[in-house]
Amino acid sequence: MKPTSLTSPSGTPASTFSFGTMQFGGKADAAESQKLYDASRAASINFFDTAYVYTEGRAEQLLGKFAASERDDLVIATKCASVGGAGSANIRAQLDESRKRLNMDTVDVFYLHQWDGDTPLEETFETLAELRAAGLFRYIGVSNFSAWQTMKATCIAQKLGIKIDILQPMYNLVKRQVEVEILPMALSESFNVAPYSPLGGGLLTGKYAGGGAGRILDDKMYNKRYGVEWMHDTATSLSALAAEVGVSAITLAVSWVARHKGITHPIISARSEAQLRPSLAALDYTMPDDVYNRITALSRQPAPATDRLEEA
C-alpha cells in the first residue's frame, strides 16, 4: 500500500520537495522571504511548511501573503502544540490563530509539533477529528513522535475513523535515528514522511570547518545538537567527497536524505535565495549508487532496534 497522495485543494499533487519557512520574518526579512518563496515556486515546489511558533507568527503571515493568489494550487502545512500542550483548547486556539495569520479558511496538513505525554491521546485525536470534519484542515501529521507514540496514536485515530497521513521527523547524515524504527514503520504502515533539517541546520554545508558563521554557533540549542566532534568530522569528509565528485556538499546532503525509500517529501530551507540554490539543485540531481553508499559510510549507523542479530 502507498501513502495517501497529498494534494492541494484544487487537486494538484504535493511536490516531492517541500520548502520550510522557519526563517521567514526572522533571519530572512520580508523581501528575502518573498525571494525564497518565488525561487521555490520557480522550481515547481508547491508544498510549504510552517508552524504556529515560527518567528512569533510572522512566518505564517508572510507565507499567507505570498500564497494568496494561488492558494488552491498549494499544499500548506502548519503545526500546533509546540507550546501549550496538545489539549483540546490549545489545539483549537492555535489552529484558529494560524488560519487567521495565513488568511486561509483551511490548512492542508495540520501537525502536532511534538508528543505531549500529559494529555490523553483520546482528547487530542477527538479534537483533531472534529476540526477535520469541520473542514478546518485536510490531513493529520505528527512531528518528533517516536514509532511507538505514532502507532499508539494511530490506534486511537482508527477508532475515530481518522488516520495520520504524514510524519515529520528530523533526518540528515549525522542524525540517523529514524532509520531504525520510524522509516521502516512508515514503509510498513504507508505514512508520508517529510523530514526536516537535511543540512543538519547548516553543519553539512561544510562552512563551519572554514570558520563560517551561522545557527550552530549563534543558537545554544543547535550548538548542543550538532556540537559533537564526529559530526563535524563527517561534515569535513562530506566536503572532501563533494570536491571529488564535483557536486556541492549541500546538494549531496539533501539528495542523500531524499534517496531513502521511506522519504516522500524532504523539507529544504535557507535564510537567503543564494543559500537555497544548491539545495534546489538536489531536485535535478540523480545520485549514483556508489556516491550514496560512500556518503552513508561517512557517518555512524545507529544501533538496531533489537538485539540478538548475530543469528540473522
Ligand X SMILES: NC(=O)c1ccc[n+]([C@@H]2O[C@H](COP(=O)([O-])OP(=O)(O)OC[C@H]3O[C@@H](n4cnc5c(N)ncnc54)[C@H](OP(=O)(O)O)[C@@H]3O)[C@@H](O)[C@H]2O)c1
Q: Could you list the residues that contact ligand X (CB under 6 A)?
A: 20-23, 27, 49, 113, 143-144, 168, 196-202, 205, 207, 214-215, 250, 267-271, 275, 278-279
Q: Are 138 and 132 in contact (CB under 8 A)?
A: yes
d(CA 1, CA 308): 30
The 3-state DSSP class for residue 193 equals strand
Least Å from the CB of residue 160 to ligand X? 24
Q: Which one, 101 or 271, has the nearer CB to ligand X?
A: 271
Least Å from the CB of residue 215 to ligand X? 4
C-alpha cell at 223: 550548538
Helix or strand run (H / E) with residue 79: strand 75-80
**Number of continuous H segments (helices) and E segments (strands) in the chain:** 12, 8
Least Å from the CB of residue 254 to ligand X? 7
Q: Which one, 76 or 121, has the nearer CB to ligand X?
A: 76
Which strand ranges, in their side-by-side order, compose the sheet holding 267-268?
192-193, 166-168, 137-143, 107-112, 75-80, 47-49, 18-20, 267-268
C-alpha closest to that of 3 among 186, 181, 153, 170: 186
Least Å from the CB of residue 183 to ligand X? 16
Q: Which one, 21 or 46, has the nearer CB to ligand X?
A: 21
Q: Which one, 40 or 90, has the nearer CB to ligand X?
A: 40
Q: Which one, 163 or 277, has the nearer CB to ligand X?
A: 277
Least Å from the CB of residue 197 to ligand X? 4
